[in-house]
Amino acid sequence: MSSDRRFDRSARYLNRELSWLEFDRRVLEQASDPAMPLLERVRFLAISASNLDEFFMVRVGGLWMLARQGRAQRDISGRTPREQLAAIAERVRELVDRQYALWERELEPALARAGLQRLTWEELNAESRRHVERVWEDEVLPLLTPRAVFPDEPWPRLAGLTLHMAARIRRPAEGPWLGGEGWAIVAIPRSLPRWFALPDEGLLRFVLIEDLVRGFAARLWPGAEVLDTAMFRITRNADLELAEDQAADLLAGMEDILAARRESDVVRLEIDAGVPPATAEWLRAGLGVPAAHVTRAPGPLGLADLMRMADLPGAERLRFAPWPPADPAGWRRGEPLMPQLARRDMLLYAPFESYDPVVQFIEEAADDPDVLAIKQTLYRTSRNSPVIAALIRAAENGKQVTAVVELKARFDEERNIEWARALERAGVQVIAGVRGYKVHAKCCLIVRREAGGIRRYVHFGTGNYNERTARQYCDISLLSASDDYGADAAAFFNAVTGLAQPCAFRRIEMAPLGLRRRLLELIEGERRHAEAGGRARIVAKMNSLSDRELIDALYAASRAGVDITLLVRGICCLRPGVRGLSERIRVVSVVDRFLEHARIFWFHRGGDPAIFISSADWMPRNLDKRVELLIEVVDPAARRRLESILDVCAADNVQAWELRPDGTYERRRPPSRGTRVRSQQRLYELAQRAARLAQQAGRRRLDPYRLEVGRGGGPAQAPGSAVQRPRSSQSRQRASATARR
């Protein structure tokens, strides 16, 4: 698609890496909100720090390798790797300064006032010293192993994201070892708690593990003098890929990658702010870290560890009030699921609704004597996954079970290798991904013998088969016994497991085959409707948008008169609101207590709207390097439900941010006299109401979301314009009666 020559790359596109950091800034702003419960603020600070760890592992590491190799190719915004690294260093410095200022000036003092107080080594009284001495002798010292660092020998291999203490020591001249000064490093194992509670009544006082190790440092080197110590933490490059054309055994190849990751380049060094310059330089040079990637922290290193504090038992008053998930409307708990699906499709939105139907779907199939086969993709699962247990049980029950286990799911490779081997031992046919691609699609197909013949049941999802993350990630699940979906799912699995060229799908599209083309066709269709003088509109919800071809298509649609609302949680390389380029595009990001993760795409299509769910973001890797699915939703009630979700998210004026043309985000504020819309709270309330209405209706077919969509059968045009808007006087009467109940 031709581009407008008036706009060069830097004017058309935002840098992906800086957009990632902008998302982390929005997360950090949650931690800055005084209206939020205290431990939830601590949690968001920990998430911000964890995001930054991942950013250095998977993005900075790759850019650094390109820069070291002298590569000068430019990214979508026109920057070279070195230019990106320079911009990143400046932005990260600002972000880290804000993190520690927030911790030291606001959160730590507020925690102390709430009864959660950190004491330094110097603040410990005699009773506390005796207590921590017992902890040191019994729990800590047995796990510590100092390692000497000699000037003429290679540095020891140090683990990433692990606290270490460097100590400069002076040994006496007499004795078996040479006298003089030297260095040693002590790793503090992650198996140890980050903090230890101190004896106290009514308060929770604690000491950090690093303060304890420093305080007893002299006991690690009896007879020597500890001159000074320095706490530090490193981040290693995790952007390593398997050369699959050279790996005869994918399992063994992935184990090699995991081993290489433990010894990869150090891309970030965090050290205490008070470390002497000579010690800091010794660490930097020894670890081979660029000066721009050294962070001096004025507080505890590894703020991501604060996540454990946020989950502290017994401190519920300092956290959000619980939002227990509702039972999805139409699901009858305790009854067999497949007969329910034979009557109608079921769409659920976790975590507002229970994920139990999805687990039941697979567990029921494992034990059902009429089920002949189960085929499923697995990307990330929980540690004690009931889904994996059900697949193993199904194989042991004599069913034909096929599991496509993606071994290259970053940071879950080790767990997936373990699951793959356990499944194979049980007799499951394990497909270790697809050579050259990551299988990111979320699909489960169940083949069942019934009175009328063979019937297929399908689950499609936007999130992983992980019942734990389903409590925190907003994701769509579609369960169906539709013949179209069943035929498409069967063709999909044949393509993945047997490399068969699928015939034309009925209701889905698959990357890398036709998904990109289908999205471009849908966007182009809206452009043509606008040019013909008709109404044209696109609403798309996703995690990230960085694909240049799709961005250009959206720009062309905007110039033709298409109204475009993009609900993009994280990375967005499109510049909205640029005159002559993207005036009709707005980009909204919602950041709240749950992680926005669902992908929903809506196209007006000349008054005959099409709506889809998908496993894929609009990024080159998803469309070209991954196996993904795009699923058209046809059930009327499910369509209205998805339109309701888009409507409410677009209307958010409490937890939503709007992207400006310069790449920064501005937080929306509710109008002084208008409707206050916090989308996640509204969606939770809708799910609870739908469950109540469904329970009252019994077995009657019910669409409790009919009232929640905008006029014209689509999401609302403007923020808040369709929130809880009845469609007729009869609907208003029903809504009024419901409110009274």
pLDDT of residue 726 exceeding 60: no
Boundary (domain end) residue, out of 287, 318, 349:
318
**Domain boundary pick from 482, 506, 530:** 506
Farthest-apart Cα atoms in the chain, separation: 97
Looking at residue 246, its pLDDT comes to 38
Give the residue-averaged pLDDT of 488-517: 91
Residue range 693-719: average pLDDT? 58
pLDDT, average across residues 631-651: 96
Distances in Å between the Cα of 169 and the Cα atoms of 180, 218, 224 are 8, 9, 7
Q: How far is CA 386 from the centre of its chain?
A: 21
β-pairing verdict for 147-149 and 180-187: antiparallel
The HSE-up count of residue 414 (CA atoms within 13 Å, CB side) is: 6
Q: In whole angstroms, what is the distance from residue 562 CA to residue 64 CA?
A: 40
Residue predicted with more confidence, 731 or 497 = 497
Q: How far apart are CA 338 and CA 15, in angstroms?
A: 47
List the CATH number of the domain containing 262: 3.30.1840.10
563 in a structural domain: yes
Closest CA to 541 of 715, 719, 355: 715
Query: pLDDT at position 259, please?
Result: 45
Q: Which of the given ranges, 42-46, 151-155, 170-174, 307-311, has the highest pLDDT on average? A: 42-46
Q: What is the mean pLDDT of residues 21-40?
A: 97
Q: Is 529 a catalytic residue?
A: no
Q: What is the mean pLDDT of residues 301-323?
A: 92
pLDDT for the residue numbered 727? 34
Residue 487 lies in a domain: yes
State residue 372 phi and psi, 5-degree precision.
Answer: -95, -35
In a domain, 329, yes or no: no
pLDDT in tens, 347-404: 999 999 999 999 999 999 999 999 999 999 998 898 899 999 999 999 999 999 999 9
**Do residues 48 and 27 make contact, with C-beta atoms less than 8 angstroms apart?**
yes
| Same domain assignment for residues 427 and 545 | no
Burial class, 737, CB count within 10 angstroms (exposed 0-12 / middle 13-18 / buried 19+): exposed
Q: If you average pLDDT over residues 547-556, what whole number do you get?
A: 98
Domain final residue pick, 476, 506, 536: 506
Higher-confidence residue of 537 and 704: namely 537
**Beta-strand relationship, 537-542 and 563-568:** parallel
- Judge if the upstream peptide bond of residue 512 is cis by omega within 30 degrees of 0: yes
As for how many domains the chain has, the answer is 3
22-27: average pLDDT: 98
Higher local confidence (pLDDT), 711 or 100: 100
Whether 634 is in a domain gets the answer: yes
Q: In whole angstroms, how far apart are CA 84 and each of 62, 98, 183?
A: 11, 21, 35
- Say whether pLDDT at 47 is over 70: yes
Residue-level pLDDT at 175: 54
pLDDT band with cut points at 50, 70 and 90 for residue 7: confident
The pLDDT value given to residue 215: 94
Provide mean pLDDT across the span 96-118: 95
Residue 695's pLDDT is 81
DSSP-assigned letter for residue 294: E
Instruction: Write down the residue that tokens 């040079």 correspond to.
Output: 285
Are 639 and 602 contacting, i.e. CB atoms less than 8 angstroms apart? no
Q: How far apart are CA 476 and CA 349, in angstroms?
A: 5
Cα(527)–Cα(68) distance, integer angstroms: 44
How far is it, in rounded angstroms, from Cα 63 to Cα 60? Answer: 5
* Domain identity same for 122 and 199: yes
On the question of pLDDT at 96 being above 60, the answer is yes
Residue 559 above 70 pLDDT?
Answer: yes
| pLDDT of 245 | 41
* 487 CB burial (10 A radius; 0-12, 13-18, 19+): middle
Residues 499 and 518 in one domain: no
Q: Which of 63-72, 656-665, 726-735 comes out lowest in average pLDDT? A: 726-735
Whether residue 500 sits in one domain with residue 546:
no
pLDDT of residue 702: 54
Q: Are residues 498 and 522 in the same domain?
A: no
Residue 98 lies in a domain: yes
- Asked if residue 21 is part of any domain, the answer here is no
Strand residue runs (E) in 302-442: 346-350, 371-378, 400-405, 429-431, 438-439
Give the Cα separation of 675 and 591 in Å (integer): 19
Same domain for 576 and 599, yes or no, is yes
Torsion of CA 565, 568, 571, 574, to 10 degrees: 0
pLDDT for the residue 436: 84
> Residue 565's closest CA among 557, 518, 347?
557
Taking residues 409-436, what's their average pLDDT? 82
Catalytic residue among 131, 164, 293, 440: 440
User: What pLDDT is stored for residue 723 in this prediction?
Assistant: 38
Residue 25 lies in a domain: no
pLDDT digits (tens, 9 = 90+) for 205-247: 999 999 999 999 999 998 889 999 999 999 988 764 534 443 3
- At residue 152, the pLDDT reads 81
Mean residue pLDDT across the chain: 88
CATH number of the domain within which 609 lies: 3.30.870.10
Full residue range of the structural domain in which residue 607 is found: 510-740
Indicate if 486 and 514 belong to the same structural domain.
Answer: no
Whether residues 248 and 394 share a domain: the answer is no
Q: Is 563 helix (H, G, I), strand (E, B) or coil?
A: strand
Distances (CA, A) of 19 to 22, 24, 30, 335, 570: 5, 9, 17, 47, 7
Asked if pLDDT for residue 497 goes beyond 50, the answer is yes
pLDDT tens digits, 642-669: 999 999 999 999 999 999 999 999 999 9
Domain co-membership, 214 together with 125: yes
Are 656 and 590 part of one and the same domain? yes
Helix (H) or strand (E) holding 148: strand 147-149
Q: Which of 131-135, 475-479, 736-740 has the lowest mean pLDDT?
A: 736-740
Inside any domain, residue 330: no
Same domain, 470 and 544: no
Provide the pLDDT for residue 251: 46
Pair 627, 485 in one domain:
no
